[in-house]
């Protein structure tokens, strides 16, 4: 007999995981790729952008630099504080709000562009996420998503973590947002067009080797930090070895550094 997941309990635990670690530092290695993706979106200066699950502002901050009216929303106060400090230091107008991707604190039809870079995919109720992304987007506006695929590096990473620390039962795996048919079903008839393209995340590199990258994830990336902390010593050794295997399989470097070939699904939807 299946059980109905208590999503509020799950979200509370997720908030704790994303608020742990040091996502601001973690994201610095992914921000060059995020900026390249942002530039490819061709958002015009003066347009309004909502960055859902914005983290430390790796899309919102460079968007504001480019003259885009940028708002970021996230469940993790620590990431928002980091993003606000960055915006203040640069004299940018970017706004950062605490909020849930399943219940966004904005009026209907508020934004020209609603975007999320490997963020909203982790919310436990994907149908609510899709509904909210559509709700706050203006008619004719764009919804842009970068979602890790199930068969890519990050999909494999989360399966390895799940072997050691099982995910909540009856909650759909986040990388299903990287499956084309699933995305089509979730947006349904709310969009007039939907373009789905598998790509490799650009410019995700570390100036050190795979074992050091694994330790960096344990130190800085909330979900892996929490998983590691939940294990006994044998479990910790096993998870470390498993992640080293996954990261080595997707490392394109042979010179002692690490560059990930991590596949994602690029989603561009136009709201009816």
pLDDT computed for residue 180 by the predictor: 98
- The average confidence (pLDDT) of the chain is 96
User: Longest C-alpha distance within the chain, in Å?
Assistant: 55
pLDDT computed for residue 209 by the predictor: 98
Residue 126 has pLDDT above 70, yes or no: yes
Give the model confidence (pLDDT) of 73-104 as tens digits.
999 999 999 999 999 999 999 999 999 999 99
Residue 201 has pLDDT above 90, yes or no: yes
* Structural domain boundaries in the chain: 7-151+166-205+262-271
Model pTM? 0.95
pLDDT computed for residue 2 by the predictor: 47
CATH entry 3.40.50.150 includes domain 7-151+166-205+262-271: yes
The whole-number average pLDDT for the span 18-30 is: 93
Give the model confidence (pLDDT) of 159-189 as tens digits.
999 999 999 888 999 999 999 999 999 999 9
């Amino acid at each position: 007999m299946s059980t109905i997941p208590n999503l509020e309990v799950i979200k509370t635990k997720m908030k704790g995981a994303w608020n742990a670690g040091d996502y601001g530092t973690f994201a610095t290695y992914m921000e060059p790729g995020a900026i390249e993706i942002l530039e490819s979106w061709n958002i015009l200066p003066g347009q309004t952008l909502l960055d859902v699950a914005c983290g430390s502002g790796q899309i919102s901050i460079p968007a504001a630099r480019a003259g885009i009216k940028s708002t970021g929303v996230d469940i993790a106060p620590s990431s928002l504080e980091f993003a606000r400090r960055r915006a203040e230091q640069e004299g940018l107008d970017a706004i950062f709000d605490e909020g849930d991707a399943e219940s966004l604190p904005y009026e209907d039809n508020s934004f020209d562009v609603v975007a999320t870079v490997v963020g909203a995919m982790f919310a436990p109720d994907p149908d609510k996420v899709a509904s909210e992304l559509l709700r706050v987007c203006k008619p004719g506006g764009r919804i842009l998503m970068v979602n890790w695929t199930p068969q890519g590096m990050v999909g494999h990473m989360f399966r390895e973590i799940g072997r050691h620390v099982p995910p909540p039962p009856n909650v759909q795996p986040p990388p299903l947002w990287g499956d084309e048919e699933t995305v089509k079903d979730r947006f349904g008839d709310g969009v007039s067009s939907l373009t789905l393209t598998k790509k490799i995340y650009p410019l995700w590199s570390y100036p050190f080797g795979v074992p050091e990258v694994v330790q960096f994830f344990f130190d800085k990336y909330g979900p892996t930090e929490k998983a590691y902390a939940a294990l006994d010593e044998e479990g910790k050794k096993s998870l470390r070895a498993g992640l080293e295997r996954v990261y080595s399989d997707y490392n394109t470097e042979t010179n002692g550094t690490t560059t990930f070939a991590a596949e994602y699904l690029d989603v561009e939807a136009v709201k009816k």
